[in-house]
Structures are given as structure tokens and as C-alpha cells.
Structure 1
Amino acid sequence: MNPDLRRRYVVNTALFWLPIGLGVAPAVLLFAERGLGTAAVAVVVAVHSFTAAGLELPTGGLSDVLGRRWVLAAAGVLMCAAFLLVGLGGTAVLLGVGMGLKGAARALSSGPAEAWYVDAVRAKEGEGAELRSGLARGATASSVALAVGTVAGGVLPWAFGRGGYGEQLGEATGGAVLPLSLPMLLGAVLALGFSCHSLLALREPPRPRATLGGVLRGVPVTVVDGVRLAARDGVVRRVVLTSAAAGSAFAVIELLTPGRVAALTGGAESGAVGYGGLATAGFLCSACGSLLAPLLRGGRRAVLLGTAAATLALLLLGAGAAAVAVAGYAVFYVTLGVVNPNLNELLHHRVPDDRRATALSVQSLALQLTAATTGLIIGPLAGDGLLPWLFPLGAFLATALLWTRPLREVTAQQPVSADGQDRRVTDLS
């Protein structure tokens, strides 16, 4: 285990997710302040999801061809532009463009940092290097950064708005900057810091000099190979399907929970504060789960127990009273914190180095598409009790059943890479 590599990976991960967290609490309220109705807000948010989904595979291939740090630096620049547009934009078009840029930044960033860490550790310690501890620290860093950012993004507009400073700010800037804009503008500055850290800290071996023609040829080939790998290898396929189940659950939780909280607190404003606190608690629960992951035996059994626990947690969320639902919420996020490092360790032991970021993009694509599709399906069912929760419940139950089959039964017959190399795992169960 190399602590310097782990430290750089953890810091880079936290720097990316901190500005994202800043935008969690104020985003929808800011859109409303700019005059957008509920339907327009839904469209603007969907622009982010579908842009991220559409660019997942090409950007993953780009990272495998050009290198990790340059793609991450580009993600930071796009994220800076996105936060500026969202924070200052006064029309639905500008806000939509900002959310599209944010989706593009999300696609660029989904995989390269983790791929860099795995490449660096395997280069120093060999292909059998233990990865779960570092991946768990990275997952913990992302959850803590999201929690800190969510709290700061909620408190900053409230604190600045006290004493009339918010009105003075709006008058001084012609309405361009509102108190709810401040977390976005701070996020833009932090995004540039993330780009600088990516360039300076994530050093990697020199790659062959890339030409435009080489990139245009190499990225599609890499993407196709990554998709083939996900389709052909049983372990990678299970990892991707588990991520898809998580996407379905996130969509239902994020769509239905704010309304339930508002109904309990008696108002939209108090509901927003309550949901912000609940979301922060969820991020911290996920961080605790990630800290626990290295202490537990990894591999298939950890993922199987985790997916089974997530199924139970979703049942509590959908069918339980308020206290029971909160318990289910906490269990679900702790469970995901435990499962994800184990899941990604299985993935990294199955993919070749030159397809690593693409494989992570396939995994992220499954999550994004399932989340967007589930959200569209359950929207009309939002008031129908347990019915909307049946989608993620069914997905997680099916996923848990997939992990009951020992991995050795799959790996004995499946090559893992598109070039035909046999990298079988003999005992990960």
C-alpha cells in the first residue's frame, strides 16, 4: 500500500465533489428565483443527466487514449464554466447550457482519477495489489466532501441574506448575483483548484504523442472494446447491473423523499431545510460505510450481503412510518458505502489497464440511464404509496440473486479483455 498515491487520489476526489455538494441545496431554489416553473426545472435537471449519460463512453475512451490528468483538468474547467452560468444565468436557456456543461464535466470525471490510482498502485505493487482500502478512502472522501458542501451551500445564502445583505448584493449586480448564487460562484473557484491539482499531483508515465487522427481512431475502438468487455465478462456484467440498480434507487429516493419531508415539516421551506439535513446525513452514512469496507472480507460475499441489505432498506423506506423510513435511509447509504469499494475492486481485477476508465464509464452510464428512465416512469406514480418503490426493490432483489452464484463459475469460462488475454480470478468469492 502506497500512502502517497492514496493521499493524492483522496485529495483529488474530495476537490471534485466539494463544489458539487455546494450546489445540492440551492440549485432548485435558485432556478425558481430566476422564474422557472416546476416543469422547466425538471427539463433543466434532465439536461444534466442526459448529457452526462451521452458522453460517458466517449469521455472514458478519451481518458484511456490521452491520459487521466488532462481529462480531469478539462472536467474542472467545464465545471467552472457550468457553475458560473448556473450562478449568474438569468434565463432558462443559459441555465440549461450551464447544466449541460455540468453534465459534460461529470462524464469527463467519472473514472479517470480512480483509473489513475489503480494504474499507479499496480505499477508499483503488481497486478495482485490490494485496492479496496484506497478505493474505500476515496469513496469516504467523496461522501464527506458532498456532506460538507451541502451544509455550506445551504448555510451560505441564509447567512448572507440576513441583515439585508442579499438585497444589497442583488441591487449592486443588477440582479445577476443573488444569495443563492454564492455557493455556485464559490464552486467555480474550487473547480479551478481541482484542475490545478489534477495537473500537478496526478503524475503518470508518458504516453505516445497523441494526434487528432489518432484520437479520433482510438476513442471509438476503446469504447467498443469496453462495451464488449461489459457484455462478455460475467463479473463485469454483474458490476454494471448492480450500478444500474443503484441508479433506480437514487431516482426514487431523490424524487419522493423531499415531498415526504415537506409533508412532515408542514411547509416547502422547512422541508427544504429538512431534506438538506437528511441528504447530508446520507452522505455521512455512506462515508461511514466506506470506512468499514476495508475491515470486512471483500469480494462476492460482501457485495451479496450488501445488495440484500439494500433491498431490505428500500422496503423500510417505501412501506415504513417516518422513523422506520429514516432508519431505512441510513441503512441504505451505509450499505452502499460498504458495497461500492468491493464492487470496484472486483471490476479493476477484471479489466486491462488500457480499458480501465472506459469500464468505469460503462458502469456510470448504467447508473445514469437507469436513474433518468426510472425518474420518468415513476413521476406519475409519486403519490401511490409503495408502488414507485417496487422498481428499485425489484432491481436490487434481482441483483442480489445474481451475486449468489460464485464468481469462479463465471471466471472459469470467460476471458476478460477484448484482446483475448485470460486474466481469470480464481478465488474472489
Structure 2
Amino acid sequence: MRALTLRAVLFALTADLIPYYALYALLFADHGLSTAQISALLAIWSVTSFLLEVPSGAWADTVSRRGLLMLSGVLLTAGFLVWTLLPSYAGFAAGFILWGAAGALRSGTFEALIYDDLAARASTAAYPRLLGYTRAAAESAALTGILAAAPLYAWGGYALVGWSSVLLAGVHVLSAIALPGAPKVVSASAVEDLEDEPDTASPPVGLTSTPAGVSRYVHMLRSGLRESLHVRVVRRGVILVALLNGITAFDEYFSLLADHTGVSPSISAVLVGVTVAGALTGAALAGHTENVSARAFSIALGIAGVLFIGGALLCGAATSHPTLVYSLTAAGFTGIAIAYGIDYNADVLASARLQDAIAGPARATVTSVSGLVTEVIALIVFIFVGVAAAWLPIPALVAALGTPLLLIAVLLPTWLPKAAEEESLKQPTAE
């Protein structure tokens, strides 16, 4: 377990140790792109992930998950390389396509690999804690990368930030090699569905396609979609996780919110780092909140919505009070950070419960369906900002993006899957 935890944490850590995260919105703006154009780029990123999300999940249920995660790292590295070498709208769009493909390959694949490895050890009860560790590692890395962006930018501008991001993304590729090659775990209830599939007995060993491999791919795709759509507890879990995760697309506008107050790019990086610290704390506490009631989480999310909206509006007010710019901006970002942490903690809990609820053979596919819905929600966020930016300032836009937290607070008590020990969740029944 310790070795698995260390390898999983290392992979998550290196995935987000990227200085570009703090400043890429400002990079685009400094190259003449408007808020609407930046939202269009983000939409390209989201659409790419949307198109590849479920197909890549079924691929991960068919071939080597570790191999796909290595490929994901290569694509991520290539995306940042394109940004650094071709800092133009076309280059940024190409980089987002590569990044979107990398994210789609990783989404669902990593969670399924870790969960199945734990299942092989009969230790799935440790999954919420381990997932919390990996999410905390990712946020710690993102925070480190974001804070590092400030001195990197001061020393070498966007070029040094870019090349540092390329190098660190390359290290992430190497970390994927250390991941376990866990077997696919199929529940007893799924065996009957699989026994007529002659190709499913053969373990996936590579990324190549064969007639049997294609047949298995189609079977996994259908199985995952069927469970996601027709098993109520899984369907609701898929949507809930997507909502909690998808609305965090608002973090793409944090640096623009900070810039709106008039602070320098270096201070903007620090303020964005404060929000990441909030998410880090929320993830790190996941092992301690896994038994908190759904009603308590619902109340916490309601509070998070109020804090988020209020924090964004405080940042807007900062521009009208020059003597209070720094204090109001700091207070605003602190409220946003707390709200982000609450949402992140709830996301880890819901993601773990979703993995427990999945009973079929296509674990990565089901998880990727949630990823697909996540991208739909993120795309809605980007389109909303792109259109509304013509009438609303950034603080009002960001405040509006916090309102879904209030809706999720209402849905969570009935949509959150129950704890893993309820054996009935392992026996899906179609509606």
C-alpha cells in the first residue's frame, strides 16, 4: 500500500507542477487576445476533451492503462512546447488540442487503475484516502508551480515560464512508468455479461488494435455507457461528480479577476496560489470527511456558494477603493479559496463513492462518462463567459460562475451514492 501510494502521489504531483498554470491567461492577453478570444481557446480545449473523453475511457478498459498515461504525458509536454515556440492564437489553439487529448487519456484511466489495484488487494476502503492524497499532491504541485511562476517570470519572462513547464511535463512522462499495471477487476455480477465474449479473457498488453481488441473495445464502450445511463445510483453519481468538477472551470478566470483589481502579474500568481491552497486543503482533508453526512456537505456547499459570490464581488469593489485594493482583493480571494476547498472536498468524496457504486467491467469508461459531462459543464462556463463578457465585467462574471454551488447543495443529499459497505450498490438494477 505504501509503495502504491507513493507512486500514485508522484504521478499526480508531476502532472500539475506546471508554472504555466498561473499565467497562461495573461500570456494570451499580453499577445493581444480579448476575453472572448481566450474563452474561445478554452472552449477548444473543452471540446477536444469532450470528443475524446468516452472513447479514451473505453480504450483504457481495453489496453494498458499505464501505457495510455505515458502517452498522455507526452501529449501534455508537446502542448506546452507548442505554446512556447508559437505564441499566437493558432499556436495556443494547437496546444490546447494536445492538452485536451492528454487530459482525456488521463481522465478515468488513472482512477480506474488505482481502484482496480486496490481491489486486487481487497483494500478498496482505502480509496477515498488515497484519492485525497493524490488530489492534495496535485494541488500542492499546482500551488508550487504557480508560486514558482512569479520569480520565473521576473527572471526570464514568459519564455522561462514556458520552458520550465515543458521540462516538468517531461518528468511527468517518466513518473507514469512507475505506476502499477493493475489487472482489470470485474465484479461477480458482470461475469455473466462477459462469459459470451471470447476475447475478454485475454489481458490487454499494449496499445495495438486487433480484431479481438476491437470487439473488446466495443463491448467495454457499450457496457460503460449502459451502466452510466441505466443504473440510477451510478447515473446520479456521474452527474454529481461532473457538476462538482465542471464548475471549477471558473478557476481559469482567477488570474483575470486578480488583474482586474490592478495588481501586478507576480501578485496575481500569488492570489491564484491562494485559491489552489484552498483546493489543496480540501483534498487533504478528504480522508477525515469521508463519513460526514450528505446533509452536512449540502450545508457546506451552500456556504461555499455564498463565500465564492461574495469574494468575487469584493474584488470588484476593490477597484472603486484605491486605498483598500490589496485588503479587499486579499479578502475576496480568501473567500473564493475557502469555497474552492469545500467544493474540492465534496468532489473527492463523490468521486470515491462513484467508484464504489460501479459494478460492471468498464470502470474507466463509466468514469470517463462523468469526465465527458464535466467537459460539457466546463464548455457551458466558457461559452457563458465568452458571450457575457461583452456586457459584464470580470468580477460579475466570476460571481455568476459561483451560483451553481447553490444548486449542487440542493441536489447532493439525494444524489450522493451511499457508502461502499452497502452491498446493494454492487448489484446494479436497471430502471
- CA displacement at 1:258 relative to structure 2: 4.1
Letter of the structure 2 residue corresponding to residue 16 of structure 1: A
How do 1:125-274 residues align onto structure 2 when only pairs under 5 Å count?
125-126=122-123, 129-160=125-156, 179-205=157-183, 207-209=203-205, 211-246=209-244, 249-252=247-250, 254-255=252-253, 257-265=254-262, 270-274=263-267
SS of 1:66's equivalent in the other structure is coil
Matched residues, number: 391
- Percent identity over the alignment is 23
How do 1:209-358 residues align onto structure 2 when only pairs under 5 Å count?
209=205, 211-246=209-244, 249-252=247-250, 254-255=252-253, 257-265=254-262, 270-298=263-291, 301=294, 303-320=297-314, 322=328, 325-352=332-359, 354-358=361-365
Match of 2:7 in 1: 8
Gaps of 5+ in 1: 161-178, 425-429
- CA displacement at 1:370 relative to structure 2: 0.8
Match of 1:98 in 2: 95
Cα distance in 2 between the residues matched to 1:88 and 1:94: 8
Cα distance in 2 between the residues matched to 1:232 and 1:242: 16
Name the Cα RMSD after superposition: 3.2
Cα separation, partners in 2 of 1:230 and 1:406, compared to 1, 3 Å: closer
How do 1:29-178 residues align onto structure 2 when only pairs under 5 Å count?
29-32=26-29, 34=31, 36=33, 39-126=36-123, 129-160=125-156
Match of 1:427 in 2: none
SS of 2:178's equivalent in the other structure is helix
Letter of the structure 1 residue corresponding to residue 20 of structure 2: G
Instruction: Pick 1 or 2: higher relative contact order, CA cutoff 8 A, min separation 6.
Output: 2
Cα separation, partners in 2 of 1:286 and 1:410, compared to 1, 3 Å: closer
Cα separation, partners in 2 of 1:212 and 1:86, compared to 1, 3 Å: farther
Cα separation, partners in 2 of 1:234 and 1:275, compared to 1, 3 Å: farther
- CA displacement at 1:386 relative to structure 2: 5.7
Cα distance in 2 between the residues matched to 1:409 and 1:73: 33
- CA displacement at 1:259 relative to structure 2: 4.6
- CA displacement at 1:26 relative to structure 2: 3.3
Cα separation, partners in 2 of 1:212 and 1:405, compared to 1, 3 Å: same
Match of 1:383 in 2: 393
Cα distance in 2 between the residues matched to 1:26 and 1:391: 20
Cα distance in 1 between the residues matched to 2:233 and 2:244: 17
Cα separation, partners in 2 of 1:238 and 1:408, compared to 1, 3 Å: closer
Gaps of 5+ in 2: 184-201, 318-327
- CA displacement at 1:261 relative to structure 2: 2.8
Letter of the structure 2 residue corresponding to residue 184 of structure 1: G
Deviates more, 1:308-317 or 1:115-124: 308-317
Cα distance in 1 between the residues matched to 2:23 and 2:417: 48
Match of 2:190 in 1: none
> Residue 303 of structure 1 contacts residue 342 of structure 1 at CA under 8 Å; is this kept in 2?
no
**1:422 aligned onto 2:419:** no
Match of 1:404 in 2: 413
Cα distance in 2 between the residues matched to 1:236 and 1:245: 14
SS of 1:349's equivalent in the other structure is helix
- CA displacement at 1:237 relative to structure 2: 2.8
Cα separation, partners in 2 of 1:278 and 1:235, compared to 1, 3 Å: farther
> Residue 247 of structure 1 contacts residue 368 of structure 1 at CA under 8 Å; is this kept in 2?
no
Letter of the structure 2 residue corresponding to residue 310 of structure 1: A
- CA displacement at 1:248 relative to structure 2: 5.7
Letter of the structure 2 residue corresponding to residue 277 of structure 1: V
- CA displacement at 1:134 relative to structure 2: 0.6
